[in-house]
Amino acid sequence: MTILTHHPLTLPTPLGGTLVNRVRSAQPGELQGRPALELSDRSYADLEMLASGAYSPLTGFLGEADYRSVVERMRLADGTPWSIPITLAVSSEEAAKARGVVALTRQGEPVGFIEVSETYTPDKRWEAREVYRTEDVAHPGVAALYSSGEVYVAGAITLYQVPRGNFPAHHRTPAEVREVIEARGWRSTVAFQTRNPIHRAHEYLQKVALELVDGLLLHPLVGTTKGDDVPADVRVKAYEVLLERYYPRERTLLSVYPAAMRYAGPREAILHALSRRNYGATHFIVGRDHAGVGSYYGTYEAQEIFSHFTAQELGIQILKFEHTFYCKTCGQLVSPRTCPHDGSHHLVLSGTKVRELLRAGEALPAEFTRPEVAEVLREGYRR
């Protein structure tokens, strides 16, 4: 007689070994008389990512030693992989009063606090060159860096309440995503990062990956993006329509990723992968020009940069895909690996061209995106 043993489900260990949780309720009067710092949209998003454990092992905004180490060698001072400095930029005037426990506010209301450990002046041009590979202010990440305060405030943070924002049904902390994965019994989960509406090429990558793993975490970024990106609410509605009709419900999970977009290309690909490990994913898709903008990064640099780390350090398997597109002669979605035809046979629409068609109220080709998704996008552009 054979006895079957059920092994407990083991999710990937969070980076640093423990999932950080810096969320707790406010205590009456605990910030009375304390100085306050008003958070920008980006800093508020960073506060949530830190407090929820999405940025484990970080427990707060980086001090100078970690900042310099991350910019210079893509590691924290202790050697842990980390590719983008998570910092709190303030003016010199604000920095002068940043001592001890300082309230963090949104529209004047306390949302948490920081226990200030130090303040320091960064070298922003050096940071721009290393992190964004350019000092060009036309780069949205560089522009945001240069326009922020000239002093960085470091220290452990506390958040009073996770802001569920505009998507409460889809807004889950890393611990909550892990609970869903465990409840569904997924032994392997692939995460997909996107700031754009899903088109057929994205769907192709996700479904190829689903042939290899148990579950798909569709994890669209809904924090601050550049002005011409499709608004988050339109994108989320498009994802909902697509998942309802074309994906196996028990094998997919739509959950928003509340980080702000930095457009740091290769460096941001690493951050996206490490944070998805914290959410419980075992695999992460990196395609063409991940987190890129304009022509600042090479087509596959975001895949190549992972060679700086061992598989054990990353703790998440990177699935690297080449550019995919619809070939009119093959009659299906293909990549350079599978299609023998030149570009004249291919249907490739740039994001700029898609936005032009939507603004004009024109239909998107069915080979590019599902008709139901195209309709959601058209409605969004009619508003």
Residues forming the active site:
195-196
Question: Helices 351-359 and 371-382: crossing angle, nearest 10°?
Answer: 60
Two tokens at 340?
A: 């023998």
Q: Which one, of 99, 90, 86, 37, lies nearest residue 57 by Cα? A: 86
Helices (H), the chain: 41-52, 64-73, 92-96, 124-127, 140-147, 174-184, 200-210, 232-246, 266-278, 301-304, 311-314, 351-359, 371-382
Q: Which one, of 214, 202, 272, lies nearest residue 243 by Cα? A: 202
Judge whether 56 and 50 are in contact, CB under 8 Å: no
Task: Return phi, psi of residue 376, to 5°.
Answer: -60, -45
Cβ within 8 Å of residue 23, ≥6 positions away: 51, 52, 158, 159, 160, 161, 162, 173
Instruction: Give the Cα separation of 269 and 286 in Å (integer).
Output: 7
Check residue 148 and report its DSSP letter.
S
